[in-house]
Chains A and B, each alone.
Chain A
Amino acid sequence: NAGVTQTPKFQVLKTGQSMTLQCAQDMNHNSMYWYRQDPGMGLRLIYYSASEGTTDKGEVPNGYNVSRLNKREFSLRLESAAPSQTSVYFCASTWTAMNTEAFFGQGTRLTVV
């Protein structure tokens, strides 16, 4: 049982390049989330999908887009990467959006130069 799987684990982009971070969960969870983690800033919510077919902005959505491809997969896209998007990105999933624990992927360390 893999849990939450993110790809890639590491990525270096040049400013202005685009890329998509992939996330898949095999726990039949309904809700999925993308967070970024920066030193001293904790985990900040970028976008979330409370259920299949819905997506909503979190605390820091600017510069990102998401797609809930199906119940298992939730991707995060950077259309034009900026150095300020250098961060560690975590995908997480929960059984429902209400009051349940989150399970995290292993993270993607992204550097934008």
Chain B
Amino acid sequence: QKEVEQNSGPLSVPEGAIASLNCTYSDRGSQSFFWYRQYSGKSPELIMFIYSNGDKEDGRFTAQLNKASQYVSLLIRDSQPSDSATYLCAVSGGGADGLTFGKGTHLIIQP
């Protein structure tokens, strides 16, 4: 059984600070890693994806991957109240069943 673990939170971060979200996964053969943002009552939307070890930056968001440690993280710089949401980590092992999701971390940005 493939597992993806996230701290459920809530994670409270002051506006303008860096929010750090973490995720670990059990399947060492996992190949692709995704971060989704989900506002309350809405569907998940893709923020970032990363395939290779290291960092990937897109605007205020940076995804970090360490396959040896089976660890993925998402950094949000200059956090805004609009970043308050649940962040879902998702992992793909390349199988036909697609993505395995973590339970999500609830992030609160305090004005």
Contacts and interface: CB of A to CB of B under 8 A. Distances in A.
Interface stretch (B42-50, B52-60, B61-69): B42-50
Contacts of B76: none
B1 to A, nearest CB: 8
Contacts of B92: 98-100
Interface residues of A, number: 26
Chain B: interface size category? 20 to 34
A97 B98 CA distance: 5
A47 to B, nearest CB: 10
B8 A102 contact: no
Interface of A: 31, 33, 35, 40-43, 45, 48, 50, 56, 58, 90, 92, 94, 97-107
* Closest 9 pairs (CB-CB, A-B): A42-B103, A99-B32, A50-B96, A104-B43, A43-B101, A97-B96, A99-B92, A98-B94, A101-B46
